[in-house]
Amino acid sequence: MSDLKLQGPDLNFETFSEGLRITRIADSEQRTSNSAEAVAIFAKMVTTEMPGTYRERLFGLMFDALA
């Protein structure tokens, strides 16, 4: 996956050559993963059709999982 930035209401996502960075907007806390699997899961979530609230919940779970 090429570098990608996605801004949501609660979280910002960035992919880069080494992995994935998620920033929670409320407190600017960042979580980073250099796992190819995390990037692949993020790519699948971005390209899959789903309701916005469901997508936001999945993104929140992904942020928590990278703790």
> Is 3 or 10 the better-scoring residue by pLDDT?
10
**What is the Cα–Cα distance from 50 to 35, expressed in whole angstroms?**
24
3 state SS of 32: strand
Q: Which tens digits make up the pLDDT trace of 10-44?
A: 999 998 887 899 999 999 999 999 988 888 888 88
Name the nearest CA neighbour of 36 among 22, 19, 23, 48: 19
Model confidence at 55, pLDDT cuts 50, 70, 90, reads confident
**What is the Cα–Cα distance from 18 to 33, expressed in whole angstroms?**
8
pLDDT of 1 above 60: no
What pLDDT does residue 58 have?
A: 87
